[in-house]
């Protein structure tokens, strides 16, 4: 961890722009291979408040997949108005992240799905009771049709994860540009993309998700918030303190507020924070605006209905 981070820091602080060129962005595929029966079952579970202890919340309550795959709260609010500790990330394109959650505490979307169901400040339920409840409903037969062993924790999260694979957003203007349509983005967005590369943003925010590929300290140049240990919570390694998964910037214009602590309202401010604390670069409002414009070209199409 430390070695990679230090290297990255040195490269950025030494203005080694060539390094930034090594990262690149890839378009989102039109769709992924999906098992439709599992996905339909997962979809039903996704919208079902049975998954929460007091039957008030479903996954959809916090992840509005009709709009941005998230909510608009600074910090998530669970059952009985319990306040969480972090901002709700979008579910869109989560399948492409190398780890799930801000601190990377889950490896896959299936591993992740158990978390909110049992987290006391989210849905606050437990699997033994949930499985009993579901077995008293038509779910019993529905699971049997797909899974030989019926309703189990593993099968519940497997179905939900299959549905989540549908929640990808292809055909963003920037993806069209990457695939050769020169006119898909504006001149200002092209200039913003150039700045995104030359300022070093792309060294962390790259790949299909324009992020979601590695960890980095929040505030490489200067620590921003010491109230959440990030990756350290998972590894208990001192050197991982304040490291977070570099988040995806896909659909970022739609998912205010920003950062794991939801501390920032506007994209303009989020980009300013990154420039100052993450890459330590001098800048001006014109440049920030151009980067913001570029980021808007990462809004894709919600594929959910298809
Ligand atoms: C009370 C609000 C709430 C509910 C309900 C909820 N989530 Fe979340 N979700 C969050 C928050 C907050 C995080 C970030 C958690 C963290 O980083 O520790 C998150 C993270 C995620 C992520 C990781 C995304 C990423 O980019 O890292 C996925 C996937 C996800 N949730 C799926 C689900 C599913 C599936 C359900 C239903 C079983 C669900 N969530 C229910 C608030 C919620
Ligand atoms: C050294 C790696 C690194 C570099 C370089 C970097 N970022 Fe980030 N970025 C992160 C991390 C880590 C976070 C998440 C911080 C947190 O909330 O804990 C983040 C968060 C963001 C967010 C908010 C995402 C959200 O979902 O709330 C935006 C917007 C962003 N970065 C844009 C940029 C821009 C623009 C640049 C270039 C000026 C840049 N980043 C450079 C690592 C990096």
User: Residue 111 belongs to a domain with what CATH number?
Assistant: 1.10.760.10
CA separation for the pair 248, 46 (Å, rounded)? 22
Q: What is the tens place of the pLDDT at every residue in 251-277?
A: 999 999 999 999 999 999 999 999 999
Q: Are residue 42 and residue 100 in the same domain, yes or no?
A: yes
Dihedral of alpha carbons 253, 259, 261, 267, sign: negative
Q: Are residue 292 and residue 192 in the same domain, yes or no?
A: yes
| Dihedral-angle region of residue 232 (phi above 0 means left; psi in -120 to 50 means alpha; beta otherwise) | alpha
In this structure, the number of other CB atoms found within 10 A of the CB of residue 281 comes to 18
Q: Are residue 140 and residue 190 in the same domain, yes or no?
A: no
Q: Are residue 160 and residue 184 in the same domain, yes or no?
A: no
Q: Which of 144, 164, 184 is the last residue of a domain?
A: 164
Residue 180 placed within a domain:
yes
Q: Which of 164, 184, 212 is the last residue of a domain?
A: 164
Catalytic positions, please? 122
Q: Are residue 105 and residue 218 in the same domain, yes or no?
A: no
Residue 303 placed within a domain:
no
Place 220 in a pLDDT band, splitting at 50, 70 and 90.
confident
Residue 98 placed within a domain:
yes
Q: Is 90 exceeded by the pLDDT of residue 202?
A: yes
Place 171 in a pLDDT band, splitting at 50, 70 and 90.
very high
Q: Is 90 exceeded by the pLDDT of residue 18?
A: no
For residue 90, report the distance from its CA to the centre of ligand 1, in Å.
8
Q: Are residue 201 and residue 219 in the same domain, yes or no?
A: yes
Residue 305 placed within a domain:
no
For residue 71, report the distance from its CA to the centre of ligand 1, in Å.
10
- Give the residue whose CA is nearest to atom 32 of ligand 2: 271
Place 53 in a pLDDT band, splitting at 50, 70 and 90.
very high
pLDDT for position 11 = 46
For residue 274, report the distance from its CA to the centre of ligand 2, in Å.
6
Q: Are residue 79 and residue 197 in the same domain, yes or no?
A: no
pLDDT for position 12 = 47
**Cα–Cα distance list, 215 to 1, 8, 146, 257, 298 (Å):** 8, 11, 37, 21, 21
Residue 211 CB partners (closer than 8 Å, separation 6+):
97, 204, 205, 245, 246, 247, 248, 249, 250
pLDDT for position 134 = 98
Tell whether ligand 2 has an atom less than 6 A from the beta carbon of residue 242: no
Instruction: State the average pLDDT for the chain.
Output: 92
| Nearest C-alpha neighbor of 51 from the set 150, 159, 166, 162 | 159
Q: Is 50 exceeded by the pLDDT of residue 105?
A: yes
Q: Are residue 195 and residue 124 in the same domain, yes or no?
A: no
Mean pLDDT, residues 46-51 taken together: 98
Q: Which of 124, 141, 164 is the last residue of a domain?
A: 164
Question: In this structure, are residues 74 and 87 in contact, taking their beta carbons and an 8 Å threshold?
Answer: yes
Cα–chain center distance at 155:
23
Residue 18 placed within a domain:
yes
Place 19 in a pLDDT band, splitting at 50, 70 and 90.
very low
Q: First CA to last CA across the chain, in angstroms?
A: 40
Identify the residue with better confidence: 46 or 222: 46
Q: Are residue 43 and residue 160 in the same domain, yes or no?
A: yes
In this structure, the number of other CB atoms found within 10 A of the CB of residue 97 comes to 25
Q: Which residue has the tokens 């504006």?
A: 186
Q: What is the tens place of the pLDDT at every residue in 111-124?
A: 999 999 999 999 99
Q: Is 50 exceeded by the pLDDT of residue 162?
A: yes
Q: Are residue 173 and residue 24 in the same domain, yes or no?
A: yes
Q: What is the tens place of the pLDDT at every residue in 270-303?
A: 999 999 999 988 889 999 999 999 999 999 999 7
Classified as helix, coil or strand, 243 is: strand
Number of domains the chain contains: 2
Domain that holds residue 209: 2-28+169-296
pTM score: 0.92
pLDDT for position 20 = 39
Tell whether ligand 1 has an atom less than 6 A from the beta carbon of residue 112: yes
For the chain, give the percent of residues with pLDDT over 70: 92
Ligand number, closest to the Cα atom of 280: 2
Cα–chain center distance at 226:
21
Tell whether ligand 1 has an atom less than 6 A from the beta carbon of residue 89: yes
pLDDT for position 222 = 81
Place 9 in a pLDDT band, splitting at 50, 70 and 90.
very low
For the chain, give the percent of residues with pLDDT over 90: 86
pLDDT for position 273 = 94
């Amino acid at each position: 961890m430390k070695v990679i981070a230090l290297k990255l820091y040195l490269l950025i602080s030494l203005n080694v722009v060539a390094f930034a060129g090594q990262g690149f962005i890839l378009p989102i595929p039109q769709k992924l291979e999906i098992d439709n029966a599992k996905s339909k079952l997962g979809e039903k579970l996704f919208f079902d408040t049975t998954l929460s202890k007091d039957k008030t919340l479903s996954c959809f309550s916090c992840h509005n997949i009709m709009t941005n795959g998230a909510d608009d709260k600074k910090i998530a609010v669970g059952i009985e108005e319990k306040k969480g500790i972090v901002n709700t990330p979008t579910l869109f394109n989560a399948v492409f992240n190398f780890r799930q959650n801000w601190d990377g505490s889950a490896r896959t979307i299936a591993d992740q799905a158990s978390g909110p169901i049992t987290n006391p400040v989210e849905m606050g339920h437990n699997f033994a009771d949930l499985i009993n409840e579901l077995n008293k409903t038509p779910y019993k037969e529905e699971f049997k049709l797909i899974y030989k062993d019926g309703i189990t924790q593993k099968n519940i999260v497997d179905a939900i994860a299959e549905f989540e694979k549908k929640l990808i957003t292809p055909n963003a203007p920037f993806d069209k540009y990457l695939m050769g349509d020169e006119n898909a983005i504006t001149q200002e967005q092209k200039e913003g993309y150039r700045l995104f590369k030359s300022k070093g943003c792309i060294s962390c925010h790259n790949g299909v998700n324009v992020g979601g590929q590695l960890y980095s300290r929040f505030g490489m140049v200067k620590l921003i918030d010491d109230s959440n240990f990030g990756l350290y919570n998972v590894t208990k390694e001192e050197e991982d303190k304040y490291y977070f998964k570099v988040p995806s910037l896909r659909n970022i214009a739609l998912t205010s507020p920003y950062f794991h602590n939801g501390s920032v309202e506007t994209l303009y401010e989020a980009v300013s924070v990154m420039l100052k604390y993450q890459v330590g670069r001098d800048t001006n409002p014109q440049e920030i605006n151009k980067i913001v414009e570029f980021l808007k070209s990462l809004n894709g199409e919600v594929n959910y209905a298809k």
